[in-house]
Amino acid sequence: MLTDPRTIAWLGPEIVLIAAATGIVVAGAFLRGSAFATMRIIAAVSILAAGAALRVGEANHWMTTETGEWTGPLVCDPLGFLVRHLALFAGLLLTLMLSRGADERDGTETLGLILFLTVGAMIAARANELVLVFLGLELVSIPTYALLYLGRNDRDGSEASAKYFFLSILSSAFFLYGASFLYGIAGTTWITAPEGIASIRDAVSRDPQPFAMLGLALVVAGLGFKLAAVPFHFYAPDVYQGTNHRNAAILAVMPKVAGLAVLIRLVVMGLPGVRNEVWQLALVLSVLTMTVGNVCALWQTDLRRMMAYSSIAHAGYLLIGIAVGAAAVGDPLPYGGVAASVYYLCVYSVATIGLFAALQSLGDGSRRVDSLDHVAGLGVTDPWKAAALAVFLFSLAGIPPLAGFWGKLTLFTTAIGQALRGESSMTPWFLGLALIAVANATIAAAYYLRVVGYLYFRTPPATSADLPSQSGPAGGLAAFLAAFLAAFLVLAIGLHQGPLAEWADRGERGLRALEPPPAAAVRATGPQHADIADRRGSLREPPE
Amino acid sequence: MNPLAYPVTVSHYLAVGAVLFVAGIICMAVKRNALGVLMGVELVLNGANVNFVAFGSRVLRDESLGLDGHVFALFVIVLAAAEAAVALAIALNYYNNHSTIDVDQADELKG
Amino acid sequence: MSPILGPILLFALLAAALAVGMLAVGSLVGPRRNTPVKEMPYESGMDPVHDARRRFDVRFHLVAIAFLLFDVELVFLYPWAVSNKAVDGIGAAAPDLPFFPLIIFAELLVFVGMLGLGFVYAWRKGLFRWP
């Protein structure tokens, strides 16, 4: 197997980021002292440069064609394009929200690690090969361990990082063990492939044997941890509470971006042979996850702990789209589950990072904004930041004009659509799913609105002496800028949801173009190991 | 039948991998020492590794090189090394804060 | 003579020259300061004979981890070598691209360069300094 030269070209943005991250970390070892501000600008510029490389390299391509292009290890399609943009934007916000005071000591390492995990999410977004999927997931996880350690060193911080570390490795091991069975069934690590080349999709479609179920269950367990889906969620509240705002933002977004992309490519599109098991599993996990997350969030007083349960609940919403997408794989009609899920992921990620950035910008170095009481009366004392917080909370709750509302609406309608249109045995399941999701949205509104109530209808504490005098990270202008950017985007998507929805839709259509035609989905022939070199040049699938 | 002359097939390796995997999980569950838990992690990862190498074997498929499984195993080995490095920092930090590496003492965050 | 014998001979010669050269340069250039500590079997201040459960400095662990990382990373050279074995003309034909073997070699240089940067970072951070 020789390296396809185009693979290198398609990795351009990732290469830019890796080079910048390596340079920043190594240069930081030489420049002691006040290199942090400069390095932060370099990191932000390199993220923008990677975004520019991404647009120059691919944007024109997606304007003229909608189908994905199969290149072996990397699949080049609109879904990957969208998710990579999301990862880059999240990376930019995270870079901005580093606090000068707390992160200055290991500032260059922190910046470099954030760039590395952005690259990890970007690789996971379009990996079509088990080794590359694993590499992307680990490139998100390993910098996260180090960031948890760098972010907070006290008693709670060390407990949080130890818990996350051991559970995360266990989940990686589950994923690996499941992936080994998928590899064993197919004899290749490629997830999907054009006609005539062996792939996991073909092998599992041909012979959905018990090993495929075992592999599926283990892989979903591993990815469920990344998404913080019940019953793999129990680490989240402790870890979020025991770390700082920036790490909580990373944990709430980056593993979910990578995990959802892998879930779509490997489980939904890669295992249509066991699609009944996949949608049943996703549906049950979804119902459990959103219910447990929302109900437990109701009585939290620690802000990050509440947001941890909120992120669990949102993982449940994301799984609705996965269930619909898996149930409709191979269906000739458009189904929209994957598109709705990706749309919701974008909306959720921006609002969550923005919320943590706003909380971070509230800290003034002498206190840390941890609990609900700390934000009481903020509408009077700091109206701009309070307004930003309110925008994010309303969006997460799904109040109509904002982005979160459209995300929830799309998800619920696809679930109902699947109930009406799918096989009759699915109807009660998906109707029930939609009903439980709507009920959950109302529960969720309760605790988000409670925080808004604290912001605007409580009197601020009389003096700062009333607050526990913990030394926390100083906020800073950059964190506020990140919050402002995110708030702007939440409002913009809410008022003008067309472009993002269209890209999410294109992502799903691009995935479907990579599917084999329905008649050829189940074949009785044996695996054919064609040489890739022979097929080079004829890989592009004809448009529908 | 002479058990020593029985041919070794891929299933035998899978059995070894499964034993390693389960032993690792049990080790992670019952060990209280952080480094003991880390040993459990290594066992679990190597259980998966044995699977990959076994599935890549020529016994199973003679028409391909089966290189994918071996490459995957190499990646897992490197991952395990990287995680051992991070684990040291985390265990040290834990020890500095708790004066022990007994992970059962980590029960302060709850609510 | 088999066509692969030449490279093997060259490789053996280079390996021998490297080993002898390193020893020679070390004995010519390196300073000689013999202290009782340096004469010890492990040269690191650890008494090699003692109870196995004694606690020792965590820095030993740090050096061991650094060694482990650089040691294990080199494992990636195996798939690089195996997947590119067609390029030097012994195996199947290489694709007809200009400078293709050079590109393959550059891949390796990039990888080793990244490892080198990691080493520079560890060095600057004082990993190899024993205070």
* Structural domains in chain B plus CATH codes: 3-102 (1.10.287.3510)
C99 has a pLDDT exceeding 50:
yes
**Which residue has better confidence, A500 or A34?**
A500
Q: Mean pLDDT throughout A62-91?
A: 79
CA distance C63 to B99: 23
What ranges in chain B are assigned the alpha helix state H?
Answer: 10-30, 34-55, 67-98
- Mean pLDDT score of chain A: 82
B8 has a pLDDT exceeding 50:
yes
Cα separation values, A4 from A1, A74, A193, Å: 9, 10, 15
Question: What pLDDT, on a 0 to 100 scale, did the predictor assign at position A543?
Answer: 39
CB under 8 A, 24+ apart: contacts of C9-18:
none
**Which residue has better confidence, A299 or A69?**
A299
Cβ of B66 under 8 Å from any chain A Cβ?
Answer: yes
Closest to A189 (Cβ–Cβ): which among B25, B48, B68? B68
- Mean pLDDT score of chain B: 82
Provide CB contacts within 8 A for B48, sequence distance 6+. A173, A176, A177, A179, A180, B17, B21, B76
pTM exceeds 0.90, yes or no: no
Is position C2 within any domain? no
Provide CB contacts within 8 A for A129, sequence distance 6+. A72, A73, A74, A189, A190, A191
Chain C neighbors of B45, CB-CB under 8 A = none
Question: What pLDDT, on a 0 to 100 scale, did the predictor assign at position A120?
Answer: 95
Handedness of CA C107, C111, C113, C114 (dihedral sign): positive
| Residue of chain A with shortest Cα separation from B53 | A180
Tokens of A158: 């060390």
Question: What pLDDT, on a 0 to 100 scale, did the predictor assign at position A542?
Answer: 39
Chain C neighbors of B85, CB-CB under 8 A = 65, 68-69
Report ipTM (2 d.p.). 0.92
Q: Report the Cα A129 to chain-centroid distance in Å.
A: 19
B46 has a pLDDT exceeding 80:
yes
Contact B85 C65 (CB under 8 A): yes
Chain A neighbors of B41, CB-CB under 8 A = 166, 169-170, 173
Cβ of B84 under 8 Å from any chain C Cβ?
Answer: yes
For chain C, helix (H) and strand (E) counts, in that order, are: 4, 0
CA atoms within a 13 Å half-sphere pointing along the CA-CB vector of B21 = 23
Contact C79 B82 (CB under 8 A): no
Q: Which domain holds residue C64?
A: 56-124
Could you count the other beta carbons within 10 Å of the beta carbon of residue A381? 13
Question: What pLDDT, on a 0 to 100 scale, did the predictor assign at position A520?
Answer: 41
Question: What are the residues facing B33 on neighbouring strands?
Answer: B102
Contact B37 A166 (CB under 8 A): yes
Contact A188 B47 (CB under 8 A): no
Q: Is A530 helix (H, G, I), strand (E, B) or coil?
A: coil
Q: How far is B3 from chain A (nearest CA, A)?
A: 26
Contact C75 B78 (CB under 8 A): yes
Taking only the tens place, the pLDDT of each residue in A509-532 is: 878 776 665 444 443 333 333 333
Contact C95 A26 (CB under 8 A): no
Is position C4 within any domain? no
Tokens of A90: 């999240």
Chain B neighbors of A168, CB-CB under 8 A = none
Contact C61 B88 (CB under 8 A): yes
Domain boundaries, chain A: 10-519
**Which residue has better confidence, A173 or A506?**
A173
Best A144, A147, A153, A165 residue to mutate vs chain B (most B CBs within 10 Å): A165
Q: Cβ(A454)–Cβ(A376) under 8 Å? A: yes
Chain B neighbors of A305, CB-CB under 8 A = 111
Cβ of B26 under 8 Å from any chain C Cβ?
Answer: no
Which H helix or E strand runs over A75? Answer: strand A75-76
Chain C neighbors of A26, CB-CB under 8 A = 117, 120-121, 124
Q: Mean pLDDT throughout A276-299?
A: 91
Chains in contact with B, counting 3 or more C-beta pairs less than 8 Å apart as contact: A, C
Could you count the other beta carbons within 10 Å of the beta carbon of residue C45? 11
> Could you give the number of structural domains in chain C?
1
Q: Which residue has the tokens 């293709």?
A: C100
Q: Mean pLDDT throughout C27-51?
A: 73
Q: How far is C64 from chain B (nearest CA, A)?
A: 9
Query: Which positions in chain C have a beta carbon within 8 angstroms of at least one beta carbon in chain B?
Result: 58, 61-62, 65, 68-69, 72-73, 75-76, 78-79, 82-83
CA distance B92 to B85: 11
Q: What percent of chain A has pLDDT over 70?
A: 84
Contact A30 C95 (CB under 8 A): no
- How are beta strands A69-70 and A75-76 bridged, if at all? antiparallel
Closest to B74 (Cβ–Cβ): which among C61, C65, C78? C78
Contact B86 A145 (CB under 8 A): yes
Chains in contact with C, counting 3 or more C-beta pairs less than 8 Å apart as contact: A, B
Taking only the tens place, the pLDDT of each residue in A139-161 is: 999 999 999 888 777 888 888 88
